[in-house]
Amino acid sequence: MRQKVRKQIYIEPWQEDMLKRQSKELKVPEAELIRRGLDLALGRGERSGFDPRAWKDEKAFLSERAQIPPLGRERRWSRAELYEDIAPS
């Protein structure tokens, strides 16, 4: 692991609240979120990384889908049948 430099900064109370919330939700240390933010601000971060808003939207979509009742048709195949053609001999 690379050596890190300690910095002390002042942030707004609402920023602290958001930082703590995101840290807890993503299970990532607050310092890591700050480093990621700096990387993005300095143009060095990966913009294709984890997007918590996108995941929140995805969870909402999955929750909605889970509420749709089944079609009421009985399945006529088994999981094993799906793999019969590709099973090793």
Q: What is the DSSP letter of 87?
A: S
Domain ranges of the chain: 13-67
CA–CA dist 26, 13 (Å, integer): 20
Express each pLDDT in 13-70 by its tens digit: 999 999 999 999 999 999 999 999 998 888 886 655 677 888 899 999 999 999 988 8
CA–CA dist 50, 9 (Å, integer): 25
The separation between CA 77 and the C-alpha centre of its own chain, rounded to angstroms, equals: 34
Position 79 scores a pLDDT of 83
Residue 77 sits at φ, ψ, to 5 deg, of -140, 160
Which structure tokens are listed for 52? 């918590």
CA–CA dist 41, 52 (Å, integer): 18
